Structures are given as structure tokens and as C-alpha cells.
């Protein structure tokens, strides 16, 4: 920071000029780089960029019309309808013309300085209109001498590099712990190759879920009736919340009137819940409740009897995620599970003591995994706030 203060004192001791961002940045329509085929595959090389949060839509094997971005020739991709933007330093094609390719007038500024300034502007829009020409290019931005710009970029890039390094380390650790959990889960829950003696010692019996539990499907009260949802006190679990794996609370609560209006049912704590349907990878996922709650119609609640330890069942069904998806993808299923499938699903049931032992071991590995999984977003968010603090401070020049 001392070096920056010296540069400011030397090159712009009194003030900094403000200019229109459009006078520093050139834009290009991506029309000639639009992908022709929708045959995307991760085995192909060239990314296909799309406006919005997803950014990379897929990968194409097309070899014509590729924008030659690189580490030495980067660009900024600007979403012309939302004002979202990305730094791109690799060759690409685009899905549509709803974006602009931005480069900088290097005689006056650097593209990386513009990139940090665009984050400082922090503008977004939900108006469906072209933003760059009509609005964004008219923003006034500070333009100190290049020497000062370069030092600001160096400082801010050091923060982004630290964040990226930390993210990579924590993500790698999370991946390793997930693999460790899955290894021991699959090893401890593999009963297929037991000898008769081992089967007898462990007391293993193959039982259908319906033989040791009550299975309940929930329901959704009318979402158009505010009296069903405002000031509700009954926890109501949606399909997306299955990804939390252990349910200590729900995002929404319904009123007693709402509960009485539909066929959902309150299930006790330590109920195993399976997603019957859902977007993307949701179907077949498993969670366990730690509070009494009711669910929507896309979730099946499995209330076990004393034969089965609930957390053992959760871990076992978690290990059979792919199998659950397979049986729900056959003819006539419409890509969903149902009560008949769940009740008929076979589970190896050892003695209750063995179930508790297995579940306890897997709980330890799961907690190790969760400690990173929960800490990763928080740590990244903290680093991002640190970066934003210094970015805003460094780019707040007096007029």
C-alpha cells in the first residue's frame, strides 16, 4: 500500500480524471463465434459460453469460428441483458449474441483494471434490453495514470490469487474426504459376498423396506393461499432440502389450517426421507430428520420399527443412490420413484448392534467431510469480502 501511495503522490497528487467507460473499452458482437451444433460433450475441447450464471454451457468439437482468447489475449464477456461479466483467457465459442466481447484501449488502461472496476460498479439489471450501448458504457470511472492502475491491479490480483489458492486446497480436501467416506461406507455396507458363517454371526437378513417400516408421501398446501403459509409453525420440507442430508429445520412452515387442507403427514424425528422426484440429481437422494416435520409430495418418509436403526438405513440408501435412480427410470415410471418401489427395495439388515456400530463409524467420516463442506463457502465468502473491501477502497478516488 505504501508503494501505491507514493505512485499517487507522484502521478496524481491532486485528483484523478473521470471518463466514460465506453471511451476506454472496445466491444465486439459475437455473431461470427456462435456455435452451430448443440452436440455438447465434456470430451470435446472448446467451451461454449452462455449469458447468465452457468457461463459455460458445454463443450463443442467445432473447429471454425473460435475466438482466440488466451492468457496473453484475454477478454471480458459481458451479458448484455443482466450486466453480469466474466474474465475469459481461453479460446471459446458462444451460444447466442446476447453478450459482448470487451477489450481495452491499452494506450490508456489495462483490461484487468477495467475488470476490477466493473466489479466496483456492481450494476445489475432485470430489464430485458441491451445494456452496454444504452447504459453501461456511459458510466464514469476513475482513470489514474497507467502506473497507478498497474499497482492497483497487482494488489487486487493478489487477493483473488489467495482466494483461488485457498478454494483449490479446500476443494481438494473436501473431495478426498468424500472419497474416504464413500470407501468406508461401501466397504461396511457390502453384504453380498458374506459366507454363511459371517451372515449368521452378523445376523444379516435381506428385508424389504415395507416389511420394517411405514412409508408416507407428503403433499403441498395451495401456494396461492397466504393463510396456509404466513406465520406457519409446522415445518414443511421441500425436495431441494434433501441435499442438506441431516434436517434440523426447514425453510418453510405451514399453518394448522394448511396441514388440515391436504394429505401431508407429520413424521417423527429420525425419519429417513427419500426424494421420489426432483430437478437434476435430486431423485434418489436421502436425508434423515432431526425434528418432527411434514413434506411435499415428491418426498417419501420411511418410519422404521425397532428392527432397523434409522441412521444405518440412511447410509445404506445413500450408497444405493445410482440403483434407486436406475429402478425409477424404467418403462412407465416417468423418471420417478413411487411407494411401491420404495417398499419393495431390499436392504441387508444385520443385528441392531451391528447397525449402530456401522452407522457410528460412518457418522465420524461424514462429520469430517461436513466440517470442510460447511467451512468452504464461509471461508470463500470471507475472502471475497476482504477483496471487495480493498477494491472499493482503492478505486474510490476523489473527483
pLDDT reported for residue 373 = 64
Using DSSP's 3-state secondary structure scheme, residue 295 falls into strand
Does residue 369 contact residue 181 with C-beta atoms inside 8 Å?
yes
What are phi and psi for residue 357, nearest 5 degrees?
-60, -50
Does the pTM of the predicted model rise above 0.75? no
Q: Enter the C-alpha cell of residue 157.
A: 490480483
Closest CA to 203 of 94, 287, 307, 108: 307
The single residue listed with the C-alpha cell 482503492 is 394
Q: In this predicted structure, what is the pLDDT of residue 399?
A: 45
Question: In terms of DSSP bridges, do strands 286-289 and 246-247 run parallel, antiparallel, or are they unpaired?
Answer: parallel
Q: Give the C-alpha distances (Å, rounded to integers) separating 6 from 1, 17, 144, 148.
A: 9, 18, 13, 9
* Predicted local confidence at residue 94, as pLDDT: 95
Mean pLDDT, consecutive 10-residue stretches, the chain (399 aa), reads 76 84 95 92 92 84 94 94 92 93 95 94 78 90 93 91 83 84 86 73 88 96 94 94 93 96 96 86 93 96 97 94 83 71 94 93 84 70 85 76
DSSP 171-225: HHHHHHHHHHHHHHHHHHT--TT--HHHHHHHT-EEEEHHHHEEEEE-----TT-
The C-alpha cell that represents 171 in the structure block: 476443494
CB 91 within 8 A of CB 65: no
Q: pLDDT value at position 55? A: 86
Residues 201 and 354: their CA atoms lie apart, in Å, by: 10
Whether the CB-CB separation of 104 and 73 falls below 8 Å is answered with no
Can you say whether the dihedral through the CA atoms of 48, 282, 295, 356 is positive or negative?
Answer: negative
pLDDT the model gives residue 279: 60
Are the beta carbons of 85 and 135 closer than 8 angstroms? no
CA distance to 215, 271, 277, 314, 324, per residue, from 338 (Å): 10, 17, 9, 18, 11
Beta bridge partners of residue 100, listed in sequence order: 78
Supply φ then ψ for residue 124, to 5 degrees: -140, 160
Helix, strand, or coil (residue 170): helix
Q: Which helix (H) or strand (E) holds 120?
A: helix 111-121
SS3 273: strand
Contacts of 236 (CB under 8 A, 6+ apart): 221, 250, 252, 253, 254, 264, 293, 294, 295, 296
Residue 285 DSSP label: -
Whole-number Å distance between alpha carbons of 361 and 317:
16
Residues 6+ apart with CB under 8 A from 389: none
CB 15, CB 398: distance < 8 Å: yes
Amino acid at each position: 500500500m505504501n508503494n501505491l501511495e507514493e505512485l499517487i503522490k507522484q502521478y496524481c497528487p491532486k485528483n484523478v480524471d473521470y471518463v466514460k467507460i465506453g471511451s476506454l473499452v472496445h466491444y465486439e458482437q459475437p455473431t461470427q463465434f456462435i456455435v452451430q451444433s448443440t452436440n455438447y460433450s465434456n470430451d470435446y475441447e472448446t467451451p461454449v459460453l452462455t449469458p447468465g450464471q452457468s457461463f459455460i454451457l458445454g463443450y463443442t468439437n467445432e473447429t471454425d469460428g473460435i475466438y482466440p482468447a488466451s492468457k496473453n489475449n484475454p477478454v471480458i464477456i459481458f451479458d448484455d441483458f443482466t450486466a453480469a461479466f466474466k474474465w475469459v483467457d481461453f479460446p471459446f465459442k458462444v451460444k447466442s449474441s446476447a453478450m459482448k466481447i470487451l477489450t481495452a484501449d491499452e494506450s490508456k488502461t489495462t483490461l484487468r483494471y477495467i475488470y476490477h472496476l466493473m466489479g466496483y460498479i456492481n450494476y445489475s439489471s432485470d430489464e430485458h434490453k441491451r445494456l452496454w450501448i444504452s447504459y453501461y458504457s456511459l458510466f464514469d470511472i476513475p482513470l489514474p495514470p497507467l502506473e497507478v492502475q498497474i499497482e492497483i491491479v497487482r494488489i487486487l490480483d493478489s487477493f483473488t490469487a489467495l482466494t483461488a489458492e485457498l478454494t483449490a486446497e479446500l476443494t481438494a480436501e473436501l473431495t478426498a474426504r468424500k472419497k474416504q467416506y464413500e470407501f468406508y461406507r461401501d466397504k461396511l455396507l457390502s453384504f453380498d459376498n458374506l459366507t454363511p458363517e459371517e451372515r449368521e454371526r452378523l445376523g444379516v437378513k435381506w428385508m424389504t423396506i415395507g416389511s420394517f417400516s411405514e412409508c408416507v408421501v407428503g403433499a403441498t398446501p395451495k401456494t396461492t393461499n397466504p393463510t396456509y403459509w404466513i406465520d406457519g409453525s409446522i415445518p414443511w420440507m421441500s425436495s431441494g432440502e434433501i441435499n442438506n442430508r441431516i434436517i434440523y429445520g426447514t425453510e418453510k412452515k405451514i399453518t394448522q389450517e394448511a396441514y388440515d387442507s391436504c394429505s401431508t403427514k407429520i413424521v417423527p424425528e429420525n425419519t429417513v426421507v427419500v426424494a421420489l422426484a426432483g430437478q437434476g440429481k435430486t431423485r434418489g437422494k436421502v436425508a434423515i430428520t432431526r425434528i418432527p416435520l411434514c413434506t411435499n409430495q415428491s418426498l417419501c418418509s420411511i418410519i422404521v420399527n425397532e428392527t432397523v436403526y434409522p441412521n444405518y438405513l440412511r447410509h445404506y440408501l445413500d450408497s444405493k443412490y445410482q440403483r434407486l435412480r436406475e429402478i425409477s427410470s424404467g418403462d412407465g415410471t416417468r423418471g420417478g420413484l413411487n411407494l411401491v418401489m420404495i417398499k419393495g427395495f431390499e436392504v441387508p439388515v444385520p443385528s441392531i448392534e451391528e447397525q449402530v456400530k456401522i452407522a457410528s463409524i460412518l457418522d465420524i467420516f461424514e462429520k469430517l467431510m461436513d466440517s470442510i463442506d460447511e467451512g468452504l463457502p464461509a471461508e470463500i465468502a470471507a475472502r471475497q469480502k476482504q477483496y471487495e473491501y480493498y477494491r472499493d477502497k482503492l478505486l474510490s478516488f476523489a473527483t
